[in-house]
Amino acid sequence: MIRHIIEFSAKNKFLILFLVVVSMIGGCWSAKNIRLDALPDLSDTQVIIYSRWDRSPDIMEDQVTYPIVTALLGTPKVKAVRGFSDFGYSYVYVIFQDGTDLYWARSRVLEYLSKILPKLPQGVQTELGPDATSVGWVYQYALVDEAGKNSLADLRSLQDWYLRYHLQAVPGVAEVASVGGFVKQYQVNVDPNRLLTYNIPLTQVIDAVRQGNNDVGGRLLEISGAEYMVRGRGYAKSIEDLEEISVGTNAKTGTPILVKQVARVEIGPEIRRGVVDLDGKGDVVGGVVIMRHGENALNVIRRVKAKLEELKPTLPEGVQVVETYDRSELIQHSISTLRHTLVEEMIIVSLVILIFLWHIPSAIVPIVTIPVSVLIAFIPMYLMGLTSNIMSLAGIAISIGILVDGAIVEVENAYKKLQLWEEQGRKGDYHEVRLNALKEVGPSVFFSLLVIAVAFIPIFTLIDQEGRLFKPLAYSKNLAMAIAALLAITLDPAMRMLFTRMDHFQFKPRWLCWTANHALVGRYYPEEKHPISRFLFRIYEPAARFVLRHRAGTILAAVLIVLTTIPVYLRLGSEFMPPLNEGSILYMPTALPGMSVTEAQRILQLQDKMLKEFPEVERVFGKAGRAETPTDPAPFSMVETTVILKPEKEWRMLPRSGILGRFLPKRRITYSELIDEMDSTLRFPGIPNIWTMPIKNRIDMLSTGVRTPVGIKVLGPDLKEIQRIGEELERIVKEVPGTRNVYAERVAGGYFIDFVLNRRQLARYGLSVDQAQMIIMSAIGGENQTTILQGRERYPVNVRYAREFRDNLPALKRVLVPTPSGAQIPLAQLADIRLLEGPSMIRDENAMVAGYVYVDITGRDIGRYVGEAKKAVEQHLDLPKGYSLLWSGQYENMQRVKERLKVVLPLTFLVIFFLLYLNTKSTVKTGIVLLAVPFSLVGAVWLLYFLGYNVSIAVWVGMIALMGLDAETGVFMLLFLDLSYHEAVEKGKMRTEKDLEEAIIHGAVKRVRPKMMTVMAAFMGLLPAMWAQGAGADMMKRIAAPMVGGLATSFILELLVYPAVYFIWKWRFEMKEGKADWIAKRHTG
């Protein structure tokens, strides 16, 4: 089959070339249009239901979150429904099974939500979150007015009513969130003393304001053949309009009482749940552009920027839009880092091939194969909807050197055969010779590529975040490999047939003739005369002879070297995701919950100012609290400051350390040194520092479930009881062997002022609970009663007590409740006022209040541990009725992965073994080939240790890729030993140890060039990944490091150990027993 394809391609070379060119054009188009992002989207398919209502967490939970969660239970394909209730906000996360279409999921949620929406309390604003996650925060800006002509409220209005809508209309933008500044609000600040003297209840003022602002229509009127539209105009348009609203009349005199007589009407700020600061200069207004799920980040940002540029001239005088975060820089940076690496790799691999082949017409084939296969690989990637990101490009980057293996083997074989043909006096048609050479190795090329692909299967079994992170890599790598394999049997034969000439040109001028000869015909050297081979022989031959003489010692040394890796491996750390240096810093100091806006703002500004003083810092954009988007659940005590750094070449120079330091040129401060310095400067008590990076942080904050290996969820109706059970569990589980850490969640952090209404007192004054609460709500809290329309802008009107009548406890006591008798009674006489500490956030899981107990374990099999812990809990815990325990945590995931790997890993190994067996037709040989795996681990582990890399899935991916490579190089190594051995046997020269040694030396040394070439191509091809700098390089390094180290050691050890092992095997088990002749006979026969 494969041979037929090769033959067909060789014969129809122009058709093949035409097809390749067409595909390349397709590849170019795909590469240009493929979606770009820095990292693959790691988020679950999740829909957020976001409700706003200025109530405390427990009220939110009871009246909003719980009803919504219950309504959503039973939605199809749902994995979990989790609710969070915070002050003023309720978030319900509906997490769908992997692979569910987001829009399908959203319409299901809407469907189920519709039955509950009418039942929610009045005033609750519920909406579906955007079709995006917080990872989609791709662009942020701040509005500043240094001229001081616009107030913060003006800027916020500009953002809310102008910029936001324009930007939201840009294709690909899911939402534009505003943050910081002041939302303008018309405030009717009521003076209770005035109310008292006029004897007007507060409710009357509220009603008056609510009824004093409307426009109506009176349908149509026909007058003399024309129709007139009837309008009743009554919109309050200004402070004056509001002030003129009549509250009532004096019963005795009939004098009207107007709003302005009982209240001050002002424009003030709406309640603030987020503040932002730019460069420590104080409050500004910020905007966050959130990209739609699955969009091309780069294009979206580009469009947003263009739109902003367009809008700039229309902004009021003095207003500037300052860019505070721009992900496109990172994307371009990382993509260009990777692109740069790819190009470097291609050049290096090409050079390696050129040098080792020393024959331009042959070298041109693999050299062309690389870019062609990479380019064409983009077509299936585009069609499969994969994005072009650090991971998928890294997948290609680690396979550049391997892509050409097929081509190299084919070309090398053809070269060898042609050289033989020339040597033997040019018998027969050289086209035939060439074609046969290609056909000879074609199938094994295919096999080797198959092995590499099979080795990658375990990566496809990864699920959740790991899966989403590494599958693109596996896809792109395998796609590139597959394309390369395909090209190896189509394009390569066709190309090889293009350069058909065997005779040298003879024409003048001579220099042109010389160049043409070298470029198009080349010279065929026999192995011994080949310039590269001669050099390699000089080094390798003595070494090979040495090991053959000290066989046992060599093997023992190899075993020892392999053993050294064990302690080294155990010292390696581990991490989930290798760092991606995003080039900017996210400074996230976080205090305990309960911080007030003023304090948060003060600290934020101080911190930003200090950060800005660093000479490396370009811009500091601080945010405390939340932006107005469902994708931001941050409380005030969590500061998120984006620090944009200047280009690295402007960073400070530092003298080098050490004795020689003074003589060496100064170096630039490094990223981590900079962070260390910042960390030691900004040591604010009570609000510990966290340094992370914008995207990394968003990804970290995405998942909402239990993150420890084991978690016990206590579900039930009452939070206090849940906490008690949790604490008891903490005690019990601590005793189970293997427990490293147990921690039961505790409720705290929220400070409350409770008005506990005294029913007897209420009865005495003839009041209902509702009437009293109405006053608590409107006098202290202040409800938005109506909306003022100003052009396109809409501002709420809020009626409440003026600040000085509600900002301390004595004042709160004197909040007056109107009674039916007309008297107004202070709250102090109706209720007990208590200060309490309570939950600042309530968690709801599948409609039960949930408390988590987090368990971290060490050194035990997780399944058995859970079994034992369950038993212990069963014995010792008396669970009250109505409460239940749910065991969950990462262990579910780990177990699932483990279960899968239990099947997949042996299967993979088996398939590789089987493929190798097919190739070698001998278990011993397959075993020898697989020796390469431990050999490669030596280099992989040592290099990781030396570079200080932690073990992460990225490293494992590199290891897995390495195994595929090992199998390939091992096969190659053994192949030549075998060939040489059989050749000797056939010639009857295999009688003594000396014969065997010579045969092995011949096989090992004389064919060191092609072996060296494939390995060098792969090895050198990875080096640019190792020295790459800049965004995205770290991730690639983690994958490449084990491959680089492993290839080096496995190659050296294979070169040195295989001859020894082969010798022992052949001598002990075949030649001594006289099998050699028999085998030889079988082969010849």
Partner 1 sequence: MIHFRKRIVWLLVAGTVIAMPLLLRAGGESGKQASRHAHEEALYQCSMHPQVVSSKPGDCPICGMRLTRGERKGKTLAKGASGEQGKPLYYRHPMRSDVTSPAPAKDEMGMDYIPVYDEAQTSSRGTPVPGHAEIFLSPERQQLIGVQTATAEERPLAMTIRTVGRVAYDPELYGVLSEYREAVAAQAKMKNSPLPEIRERADALVRAAALKLKLLGFSDSQTVEFVKTGEQAGNLLLSSEIAWIYADIYEYEAGAVKPGQSAQITAVGLPGTRLNGVVKSVDAVFNAATRTLRARIETQDPEKMLKPEMFVDVVIEVPLGTRLAIPEEALFQAGETQLVFVAKGEGHFEPRQIQAGHQAGGYYEVLSGLSAGEKVVRSSNFLIDSESRFRAAAQGFLESEQK
- Using CB under 8 A as the binding rule, the residues of this chain from 907 to 966 that contact partner 1 are 942, 945-946, 948
Is residue 256 near partner 1 by the rule CB under 8 A? no
CB of 709 to partner 1, least distance (A): 9
Give the three-class secondary structure for 690.
Answer: coil
User: Which tokens go with 908?
Assistant: 């993979």
- The CA-based diameter of the chain, rounded to the nearest angstrom, is 135
Q: Which stretch binds partner 1 (CB under 8 A): 104-112, 424-432, 586-594, 1074-1082?
A: 586-594
Is residue 589 near partner 1 by the rule CB under 8 A? yes
In angstroms, rounded to a whole number, what is the distance separating the alpha carbons of residues 1035 and 580? 6
CB of 41 to partner 1, least distance (A): 18
Out of 387, 689, 919, 980, which residue is the one contacting partner 1 (CB under 8 A)? 689
| Contact predicate 242/265, CB 8 Å | yes
CB of 126 to partner 1, least distance (A): 25
Closer CB to partner 1, 153 or 682, in the complex: 682
Closer CB to partner 1, 226 or 835, in the complex: 835
Q: Residues in the chain, how many?
A: 1085
User: Which tokens go with 20?
Assistant: 């390749």
- By CB under 8 A, the residues from 483 to 512 that bind partner 1 are none
Name residue 86's beta-bridge partners.
89
CA distances from 101 to 98, 109, 915 (A): 9, 12, 38
Is residue 643 near partner 1 by the rule CB under 8 A? no
Which amino acid type is present at position 941? V
Is residue 1085 near partner 1 by the rule CB under 8 A? no
User: Which tokens go with 778?
Assistant: 């409107």
- By CB under 8 A, the residues from 780 to 809 that bind partner 1 are 808-809
The residue behind tokens 């398939």 is 911
CB of 1054 to partner 1, least distance (A): 16
CB of 9 to partner 1, least distance (A): 44
CB of 31 to partner 1, least distance (A): 35
CB of 593 to partner 1, least distance (A): 7
Q: Which stretch binds partner 1 (CB under 8 A): 181-189, 595-603, 906-914, 1002-1010?
A: 595-603
HEC profile for 960-996? HHHHHHHHHHHHHHHHHHHHHHHHHHHCCCCCCHHHH
Is residue 588 near partner 1 by the rule CB under 8 A? yes
Site track for partner 1 across 748-787, x = CB under 8 A: ---xx------------x----------------------
Peptide bond just before 361 cis, omega within 30 deg: no
Is residue 813 near partner 1 by the rule CB under 8 A? yes
Is residue 1062 near partner 1 by the rule CB under 8 A? no
Out of 33, 255, 681, 768, which residue is the one contacting partner 1 (CB under 8 A)? 681
CA distances from 557 to 275, 506, 935, 1051 (A): 65, 56, 12, 16
Out of 237, 523, 707, 987, which residue is the one contacting partner 1 (CB under 8 A)? 707
Out of 61, 279, 745, 844, which residue is the one contacting partner 1 (CB under 8 A)? 745
Site size for partner 1 (CB under 8 A): 74
- By CB under 8 A, the residues from 144 to 203 that bind partner 1 are 193-194, 196-197
CB of 805 to partner 1, least distance (A): 9
**Element of type H or E holding 50:** strand 46-52
Is residue 657 near partner 1 by the rule CB under 8 A? no
CB of 744 to partner 1, least distance (A): 9
- By CB under 8 A, the residues from 97 to 116 that bind partner 1 are none
Is residue 57 near partner 1 by the rule CB under 8 A? no
User: Which tokens go with 28?
Assistant: 């170019």
Closer CB to partner 1, 287 or 889, in the complex: 889
- By CB under 8 A, the residues from 374 to 433 that bind partner 1 are none
Is residue 708 near partner 1 by the rule CB under 8 A? yes
Closer CB to partner 1, 12 or 829, in the complex: 829
- By CB under 8 A, the residues from 618 to 637 that bind partner 1 are 637
Residues ≥6 apart with Cβ < 8 Å to 420: none
User: Which tokens go with 409?
Assistant: 């083997």
Closer CB to partner 1, 264 or 1006, in the complex: 264
- By CB under 8 A, the residues from 829 to 848 that bind partner 1 are 829, 834-838
| Contact predicate 654/668, CB 8 Å | yes
What are φ and ψ of residue 587, in 5° steps?
-95, 120
Q: Which stretch binds partner 1 (CB under 8 A): 293-301, 510-518, 596-604, 779-787?
A: 596-604
CA atoms within 13 A on the CB side of 664: 12
- By CB under 8 A, the residues from 205 to 224 that bind partner 1 are none
Closer CB to partner 1, 100 or 824, in the complex: 824
Is residue 686 near partner 1 by the rule CB under 8 A? yes
Q: Which stretch binds partner 1 (CB under 8 A): 407-415, 421-429, 525-533, 849-857?
A: 849-857
- By CB under 8 A, the residues from 276 to 305 that bind partner 1 are none
With vertex at residue 698, the alpha carbon angle to CA 695 and CA 704, rounded to the nearest 5 degrees, is 150
Out of 97, 500, 670, 741, which residue is the one contacting partner 1 (CB under 8 A)? 741
Is residue 255 near partner 1 by the rule CB under 8 A? no
Chain-centre distance for alpha carbon 1075 = 58
What are 788-795's contacts with CB under 8 Å, separation 24+?
788/186, 788/213, 788/235, 788/236, 788/237, 788/242, 789/235, 789/237, 790/237, 792/161, 793/157, 793/160, 793/161, 794/161, 795/183, 795/184, 795/185, 795/186
CA atoms within 13 A on the CB side of 1046: 31
Inter-helix orientation angle 360-383/390-397, to 10°: 150
- By CB under 8 A, the residues from 598 to 617 that bind partner 1 are 599, 603, 606
Q: Which stretch binds partner 1 (CB under 8 A): 85-93, 148-156, 584-592, 617-625?
A: 584-592
Within the chain, how many helices (H) and strands (E) appear?
Answer: 40, 32
In angstroms, rounded to a whole number, what is the distance separating the alpha carbons of residues 27 and 24? 5
| Contact predicate 145/139, CB 8 Å | no
- By CB under 8 A, the residues from 533 to 562 that bind partner 1 are 542-543, 546
Out of 181, 286, 583, 593, which residue is the one contacting partner 1 (CB under 8 A)? 593
Site track for partner 1 across 850-889, x = CB under 8 A: --x-x-x---------------------------------
Is residue 703 near partner 1 by the rule CB under 8 A? yes
In angstroms, rounded to a whole number, what is the distance separating the alpha carbons of residues 497 and 509? 27
CB of 602 to partner 1, least distance (A): 8
CB of 177 to partner 1, least distance (A): 21
Neighbour-count burial of 887, counting CB atoms closer than 10 A to its CB (0-12 exposed, 13-18 middle, 19+ buried): middle
Is residue 826 near partner 1 by the rule CB under 8 A? yes
CB of 1052 to partner 1, least distance (A): 9
Is residue 518 near partner 1 by the rule CB under 8 A? no
- By CB under 8 A, the residues from 658 to 677 that bind partner 1 are 677
Which amino acid type is present at position 1007? R
| Contact predicate 79/25, CB 8 Å | no
| Contact predicate 158/150, CB 8 Å | yes
Out of 228, 514, 743, 914, which residue is the one contacting partner 1 (CB under 8 A)? 743
Is residue 680 near partner 1 by the rule CB under 8 A? yes
Residue 88 region, left (φ>0) first, then alpha (ψ -120 to 50), else beta?
left
